[in-house]
A and B are shown apart, each in its own frame.
Chain A
Amino acid sequence: MKFFMNTLKHLSWLLACCFILVSSSPAESIDSFTGEKGTLRISGGTAHIPVMKIAAQKIMDTHPDIQITIAGGGSGAGIKQVGEGLVQIGNSGRKASDAEIQKYELSLYKWAIDGVGTVVHPDNPVQALTSQQLQDIFAGKINNWKQLGGSDRAINVYTRDESSGTRSVFWKKALAKGDISPKAQFASSNGAMKTAVAKNPYAIGYMSVGYIDQSVAPVSLDGVRPDLETVKSGKYKVSRGLYSNTKGPATGLAEKFINYLLSPEGQNIVVQKGFVPVR
């Protein structure tokens, strides 16, 4: 029995190797990890996670000696943790500030472009707003869906905490740095935002376009619907780069991981997950 199991193990190894050989045609693909071992720790922006997860899974499936861990925490946390050497890659959904770059000697790698879209519950009839209306909603000046042609219920505004890259982009480009009402509720990640809006018919929030699916409805802003196409063409203006940051130039596993994200295979995952590729 044991002999049989061992043979099976060897056989599956052989198969895996064959698979790698077959799929190793494009340059800079997954086989650049061959012979590598160790742990790669990643944390930060939550918009990055869907792409990072798939990339990490693909690498770990074919290279069992490599361990990749991905944590959230938000853009601020990503920059801080990579700067302090707690992780090798810190993700941020905004460009790190000059002060941060200088302080931590960061190297920035942009591997996707992402829009930040306003979202409501799919049952909400209000699915188009002007910039002015959006700003008034978030400032608390418009506080009932009835004022916008919806049902007579209070608008539940959801926002993110100050260290969120998604928030900083939305606040700058969609809210024109306007006020956010103190009555606004807080979601702690893109995922938590989706749950909150998907479960509440009277909610309005904002999230990475890559996170938008059938459970929430995107809201057109000044007639432009936030999706992959409009972000790509530049028609939808509320967009930002998705960055992976390293302390100093990326080396070792971190460098290979970032190169993989920028490779055709990696950029494919970027498209698959609803983001705009950079190459």
Chain B
Amino acid sequence: MLGNDRIPKICLQTAAWGCASLTFGVLVFMAWLSIPVLRASDTVHILTLPWLPGQGQFGIGPMILGSLYISVLSLIMAAPVSFGAAIFIRITRPGTLGKFFQHLVEAMTAIPTVVYGFIGIFLIVPLIRETFVQGSGMCILSAAIMLSLVISPTMILIFSQSISSVPRQYTIAVEAMGATPAQKFLMIILPCAWKGILTGLILGFGRAVGDTLIALMISGNTIDFPRHILDSARTLTAHIALVTAADFDSMEFKTLFVCALTLYLLTCVGVFFARAAGKRQ
């Protein structure tokens, strides 16, 4: 008979290996299905050509740029705000008010993105259109603003968790030495919580790259190369959603696997660089 503690151990190990192999399996599957497309057209072409299925051109470059612009911009907007919110919850007002905001943020994670997308159409898009008097308001900026709302709750929770994990003795010690709150923050909390903050950024970026509905609903989905944050753009995810209706056997449909592969690699590269930067610290 197996020892009592061995059964749960085996279960957990199987689960962990199952998850890992599934993630890897998806990568292999997409790579396998992308090969015919990449072989048929030069890899360079799929990155540089425009998307004109009617004329046999299936470039996904504009969508890769669209995904990058929107997710990076939303991360730039969401990260400082999330960081500030986490500090507010954990350090400035750790009492009832902080708790209240923490619960509020927890509730925010449960709001479906389609709701944000809908709000975006009615509030942000007209505002951007009339403020900048250029374009339709359905643009990279609008999508990034809404997307930053979607990704910030996750980031706030992870940031605040990592800030709270900074040993109490350190902060007390540095306070005793007469450090100002800013010094305490810069010298102790930031270096100690760095790993967790990085995790928060990675998860935020991953969510931003992976989100479909916000971009589909408010970024305009243009197939042109985006040049300006007030230009419309199409993300890889929105592109997949729009093109899945195409014929299963068509070249259009097959290029979707390349899109999916690119999305996967984009997130991997993001995680890799963030981790590498984290190690150097």
A contact residues vs B (CB 8 Å cutoff): 73-77, 80, 84, 100, 153-154, 156, 161-164, 182-188, 192, 195-196, 199-200, 202-203
Contact = CB atoms under 8 A, between A and B. Distances in A.
Contact of A186 (B133, B137, B222): B222
A243 B188 CA distance: 68
A161 B234 CA distance: 12
Interface string B165-179: 000000000000000
Contacts of A199: 121-122, 125-126
8 contacts: A76-B246, A77-B244, A161-B243, A161-B245, A186-B221, A192-B217, A196-B121, A200-B138
A83 B50 CA distance: 30
Contacts of A100: 247
A202 B136 contact: yes
Nearest to B232: A185
B278 interface: no
Contacts of B50: 182
Interface of B: 50, 53-54, 121-122, 125-126, 129, 133-138, 216-217, 220-224, 232, 234, 241-248, 252
A188 B242 contact: yes
Contacts of A75: 245
Task: Tell me which of B54, B126, B133, B220 has the highest count of chain A C-beta atoms within 10 A of its own C-beta.
Answer: B220
Contacts of B136: 156, 185, 200, 202-203
Contacts of B220: 185-186
Contacts of A203: 136
Given A164-B245, A196-B121, A200-B126, 7 more contacts: A156-B138, A162-B243, A162-B252, A163-B243, A182-B50, A200-B137, A200-B138
A200 B137 CA distance: 8
A156 B133 CA distance: 12
A41 B129 CA distance: 40
A154 B133 CA distance: 9
Contacts of A154: 134-135
A80 B54 contact: no
A202 B133 CA distance: 11
Contacts of A163: 243, 245-247
A199 B138 CA distance: 11
Nearest to A103: B249
Nearest to A192: B217
A64 B123 CA distance: 41
B238 to A, nearest CB: 8
Given A76-B246, A185-B222, A195-B121, A162 B133 contact: no
A188 B136 CA distance: 16
Nearest to A155: B136
Given A80-B247, A161-B243, A156 B54 contact: no
Contacts of B216: 188
Contacts of B246: 76, 162-163
Contacts of B248: 80, 84
B54 A188 contact: no
A192 B118 CA distance: 11
A199 to B, nearest CB: 6
A195 B138 CA distance: 12
B116 to A, nearest CB: 15
A76 B135 contact: no
B138 A76 contact: no
A187 B53 CA distance: 17
B182 to A, nearest CB: 44
A196 to B, nearest CB: 7
Contacts of B242: 161, 186, 188
A156 B232 CA distance: 10
A182 B54 contact: no
A164 B221 CA distance: 15
A77 B245 contact: yes
B131 to A, nearest CB: 14
Contact of B53 (A84, A162, A183): A162
Nearest to A164: B245
A211 to B, nearest CB: 17
A153 B241 CA distance: 31
Q: 3 closest pairs, A vs B, by CB?
A: A186-B221, A156-B136, A77-B245
Nearest to B224: A182
B149 to A, nearest CB: 19
Interface centre among B50, B243, B245 (most CB of A within 10 A): B245
Given A80-B248, A199-B121, A162 B54 contact: yes
A192 B221 CA distance: 12
B239 to A, nearest CB: 9
B245 A73 contact: yes
A202 B246 CA distance: 30
A202 B125 CA distance: 13
B222 A74 contact: no
Residue of A156, A185, A195, A196 contacting most chain B CB atoms (<10 Å): A185
A180 B125 CA distance: 23
A184 B222 contact: yes
Nearest to A187: B221
Contacts of B121: 195-196, 199
